[in-house]
Structure 1
Amino acid sequence: MMSNPALALSPVDPVRPLAPYIGGKRALAKRLVALINSIEHQAYAEVFVGMGGVFLRRDQKPKAEIINDWSEDVATFFRVIQHHYLAFLDMLRWQITSRAGFEKLLALEPSSLTDMQRAARFLYLQRLAFGGKVRGKTFGVVVDGGARFDVTKLAPMIEAVHERLAGVVIERLPWSDFITRYDRPGTLFYLDPPYYGSEGDYGRDMFDRSQFEQMALQLRGLRGRFILSLNDHPEVRRIFAGFDFREEELAYTVGGGGNAKAVREVIVSN
């Protein structure tokens, strides 16, 4: 077991996620990053990476980093940014913000596209979708700012994410299989599953409520360490009873609106 975390973690520049994503942890990320840094680990494994709302905002990293998402859009997107970012930028060069373009791309079947086309479609839709929605996307209207798909601003952001992904392993596995594959002493898992009661927000057959019980069972037998963030719900407290709970009060706005909604979340750990 490591005795000096300073020797295990090295500084890394935080990077902005490239698009909003429902359930993104912008409001909680700073607290989560501090907690992750306080736990000794040789490998960091993120089970539901989404758009990287926590992963990309970290300022310390171990030697081994693995990110995972069962969404084919997400996994393809990060692989393209990692390996083909110059060609990807070239593909985006002539895209503009338009409702017609949004609706045209939304109607396309992603499986009919090349990986590069699929990644470009995904980024365009996530940048422009109201509230960063994954399922049931609608065009987000901006009246107090510039176009949300501006390649001149996106190019340096994409380059920064490309550089941050150097040496990172990108997986596309069901969450349980991912944990099984990477579980060992010295691994720290961060899990950000769908909120309890909002399991369908990420698409059909991605995650269902029964999997929370399976998750708690698997985490009880974990050889490594874990941090799990979820909404504060009586069933969440029942299912994950016996682990450490930390309560967090947050205020969220949807789609950049001015009215903040107060919510309570829990950070669960072993």
Structure 2
Amino acid sequence: MVYTEEMRAVSPTHPPAAWIGGKRQLASRLVGMISTIPHVTYAEPFVGMGGVFFRRPAAPRSEVINDRNGEVVNLFRILQRHYPQFMDTLKFQITSRREFERLKACDPATLTDLERAARFLYLQKLAFGGKVNGQHFGISHGQSARFNLNRLAPMLEDVHERLAGVVLENLDWSDFIDRYDRPGTLFYLDPPYFGSEDDYGKTLFGRDQFAAMAERLKRLQGRFILSINDVPEIRETFAGFAFHQAELTYSVGGGKGTAARELIVTDRNGSAPTKPSTRF
């Protein structure tokens, strides 16, 4: 990649925890596609644990990440602004099914923001398959404890450094796009998969939102890349955009994988993008 005045090299790092639909297999292809599109603002409406965001090797001056899940945004805000205090909160935490169940039953509204972030990270690190909704304690045969601060601390420090200067939002995806859409913005969208809308919470994203999203993307001033499962309903909803097929293997918790197809949807199909203006 050639780094222009709009782009700078950054150090890729791992997301802080597992996340269902976390893009581990598809990330390198998505990152490659992102790198071919000149942009002065990078924006993610559905950041989750940042499976693509944190793996990018270059970034523009302006980066904005968003999620409707307030626990996600609180974790990133704490890692960004209160990293030393957060590490003190985690210092004596151990991997324990009993502790997992205790924290899962705890109402996050009764906790401080530091405690909320620690609870959320702990549950995500230990939940089977990186599930967000309906979590169960996961076990890994032949491996060490899954919540090990000696291994976790260096990665969290990298995440803390990577989040410097990044704007965090807690908006609905449509409000987020309306706020940041302009020439020079590149959106990467990773919405819940068709048929799995409730995996992230029953009130966060409805199936009707796919059609609304397709209509909004038709009016986009910036550019976009969207990743989604490859099903007929999605192909029909996003007809008119460019489709790029990906062959993957789905597996959960190290189990036997099953073949799957995903779609990468883009606004253009291989055309050379024009360089965006830096004047907004």
> Is the structural similarity TM-score above 0.5?
yes
Counterpart in 2 of 1:269? 266
1:189-208 aligned at under 5 Å gives the runs 189-208=187-206
Percent of aligned positions that are identical:
59
Residue 100 of structure 2, aligned match among 96, 102, 105 = 102
Distance in structure 2 (CA, Å) of the matches to 1:40 and 1:166:
22
Is the contact made by 2:16 and 2:49 (CA closer than 8 Å) also made in structure 1?
yes
Q: CA RMSD in A?
A: 0.9
Residue 188 of structure 1, aligned match among 182, 186, 189 = 186
Secondary structure of residue in 1 paired with 2:5? helix
Amino acid at match of 1:268: V
1:22-37 aligned at under 5 Å gives the runs 22-37=20-35
1:208-219 aligned at under 5 Å gives the runs 208-219=206-217
Cα distance, 1:256 vs structure 2: 2.0
What is the CA deviation profile of residues 3-23 of structure 1, one whole-angstrom value per residue up to 9, with x for unaligned ones?
x86332211110111110011
Amino acid at match of 2:263: V
Secondary structure of residue in 1 paired with 2:171? coil
Q: 5+ residue gaps in structure 2?
A: 268-280
Amino acid at match of 2:266: S
Amino acid at match of 1:78: F
TM-score after normalising by structure 2: 0.94
Please tell me whether residue 133 in structure 1 is matched to residue 131 in structure 2: yes
Distance in structure 1 (CA, Å) of the matches to 2:258 and 2:111:
38
Counterpart in 1 of 2:42? 44
What is the CA deviation profile of residues 21-61 of structure 1, one whole-angstrom value per residue up to 9, with x for unaligned ones?
01100000000000000001010001100001000010010
Q: How many residue pairs end up in the alignment?
A: 266
Counterpart in 2 of 1:226? 224
1:168-183 aligned at under 5 Å gives the runs 168-183=166-181
Cα distance, 1:110 vs structure 2: 1.3
Distance in structure 1 (CA, Å) of the matches to 2:235 and 2:109:
38
What is the CA deviation profile of residues 191-232 of structure 1, one whole-angstrom value per residue up to 9, with x for unaligned ones?
000000100000120101000010000000000000000000
Distance in structure 1 (CA, Å) of the matches to 2:35 and 2:151:
30
1:216-255 aligned at under 5 Å gives the runs 216-255=214-253
Is the contact made by 1:5 and 1:40 (CA closer than 8 Å) also made in structure 2?
no
Secondary structure of residue in 1 paired with 2:227? strand
Counterpart in 2 of 1:67? 65
Counterpart in 2 of 1:54? 52
Cα distance, 1:261 vs structure 2: 1.4
Distance in structure 1 (CA, Å) of the matches to 2:218 and 2:229:
20
Secondary structure of residue in 2 paired with 1:247? strand
Amino acid at match of 1:266: L
Amino acid at match of 1:207: F
Is the contact made by 1:184 and 1:223 (CA closer than 8 Å) also made in structure 2?
yes
TM-score after normalising by structure 1: 0.97
Secondary structure of residue in 2 paired with 1:227? strand
Is the contact made by 1:27 and 1:252 (CA closer than 8 Å) also made in structure 2?
no
Counterpart in 1 of 2:276? none
Give structure 1 regions of 4+ aligned residues with deviation exceeding 2 angstroms: 4-8
